[in-house]
Amino acid sequence: MPAPGTLLLLRHGQSVLNAQDRFTGLLDPPLTPLGEDEAARAGALLVHSSFSPGTVYTSTLTRTRATARIVLDILDAPDVPVLAAWELNERSYGSLTGRARSELLSELGPEVFRFWRRSYYGAPPPMSRAELGAIRRSRAFAGLPPEAVLPTESLCGVVKRVRIFWHQHLRPRIRAGEDVLVGHGNSLRALCLVLDRLSHAEVEALNIPTGHPLAYRFTPGLVPLERVGEYLNPLAAWTAAALVAAAGGT
């Protein structure tokens, strides 16, 4: 049996709504120029680490697909298959979707704001039927099942879909080769919980910055060798994660 492959987690580069400090969720903004630079820097780190992906998984949203294209261009790997999976999409933030975080913090107060944004079970109020319909009709969600676009969602709900995806798709591939996984802050936090069996408190405190590759290496039994993985540029990633935490979290 071959040695297990390496699973690489990479949150997409900064998007337009990230830059505006808004709840993006299931909206589909493009990358900013900074986001494109972050993706290129991530690709350069992969070149220096001699990482050679066999498969790239993205969500169905533009910001992850664009990040993957930039990374593969830097790796000079145009033939690597890129597979889009709705299970890796960002969490639905319900009625918070598109809203400015600073405005909501002032409106709701810190306790309610944190409960809806960071807690394991908390889900914001659902978005309106019109908003939900517009998202379901958008290109990123065309042809997807209803469960791919929920009116609201907790982190617990994200963990459930990501856990199934790990067992059905990622785990079997790790046994055969190396994958790159390009995702979103909350779908990657959920995957870290699944891989490391994080407690609810640990995953609530976990922040994954944009554009910093996080590598998971495994024992033959597919147990992570290092809890919460290893950033390819640890100092830069920890600094970026601290900034994310200071701004209220992923």
d(CA 10, CA 2): 25
**167 C-beta neighbours (distance < 10 Å), count:** 11
**Residues 170 and 53: beta-carbon distance below 8 Å:** no
d(CA 160, CA 164): 7
d(CA 106, CA 113): 9
d(CA 167, CA 44): 30
Please identify every residue annotated as catalytic.
Answer: 12, 90
Helix 155-165, helix 185-196: angle, nearest 10:
70
